[in-house]
Amino acid sequence: MSDEDREPSGTRRLPTLDKTPDTADGSDPGAADGSTPSTADPTATDSAGHDRVRRFWSARRVPAALVALVLLAAAGLLLYDAAAVRANRPAMAWRRRLARELATRHLDNPWVLGAAAVAVVLGIWLFVAAVTPGLRQVLPMRPAAPDLRAGLDRAAAALVLRDRAMEVAGVQSVRMKVGRRKAKAHAVAHFRELDEVRADLDTSLAEGLRQLGLARELRLTVDVRRPKKR
């Protein structure tokens, strides 16, 4: 009886993975036909989909709650007053005064113009809040999967880049600011030449921005100065 026959019926040997057969001279198999192995750059493959990544939309809970509360209070007050008038009670003083003011004041009255200006400003604010994404503090990242979306907070991105800039020799302090389209670094170098420190910062921060995996490539600006004399 062989070893395989003595194995329990509930167990099974795992298949082994064989290495890719090499050529006789030990070179890469793809080199036999004159082709060269391709090295895929992840940044190059993802660059095509950068423009299709959109920003995250805000829930707009505060504006929606304010509008809902105002409309609810106004509708409830009008409904109560209308029910009181139907019950042979006098209308509220504010409604009688409002009706009198609307009947006597002209359209060029400062109060009328002021109320209209306030209504226009509120309307524009609500319209802008409805058609704009919001969440300006969240930077969209490159999608790692078709159904997966990720974002990075701008403050977190600035902190990561600042820590990376502090690793450059000669840098004493760094103030990093990350916007939606730009990343600005204001560094103070207490030794080494400023051009050398600036070149190292450009290289290090550019690599840091690439590793963040953002969907939109940020423009980098580096400013290096000497510390102020006391």
User: Taking a C-beta distance cutoff of 8 angstroms, is the pair 172, 190 a contact?
Assistant: yes
The mean pLDDT of 105-110, rounded to a whole number, is 86
Distance CA 172, CA 166 (A): 7
- 134-181, pLDDT tens digit by residue? 788 889 888 877 778 888 999 999 999 999 999 999 999 999 999 989
Flag whether pLDDT at 86 surpasses 90: no
pLDDT at residue 23 in the model: 42
Strands (E), the chain: 138-140, 151-153, 171-178, 182-189, 219-225
User: Taking a C-beta distance cutoff of 8 angstroms, is the pair 190, 227 a contact?
Assistant: yes
Instruction: Name beta bridge partners: 14.
Output: none
- 167-218, pLDDT tens digit by residue? 999 999 999 999 989 999 999 999 899 999 999 999 999 999 999 999 888 9
Distance CA 214, CA 136 (A): 14
Which among 131, 134, 202 is positioned nearest to 164, based on CA atoms?
Answer: 202
pLDDT at residue 94 in the model: 83
The residue to which tokens 């990075």 are assigned: 152
Q: Higher confidence at residue 119 or residue 18?
A: 119
Which contacts of 201-206 are long-range, i.e. CB under 8 A and separated by 24 or more positions?
201/165, 201/168, 201/171, 204/164, 204/165, 204/167, 204/168, 205/161, 205/164, 205/165
Q: How confident is the prediction for the chain on average, in pLDDT?
A: 79
The residue to which tokens 């600011």 are assigned: 177
Q: Percentage of residues in the chain with pLDDT exceeding 90?
A: 37
Q: Higher confidence at residue 5 or residue 162?
A: 162
Q: Residue 50, class by beta-carbon neighbours within 10 Å (0-12 exposed, 13-18 middle, 19+ buried)?
A: middle
pLDDT at residue 130 in the model: 81
Answer yes or no: pTM beyond 0.85: no
Distance of CA 96 to the CA centre of its chain: 51
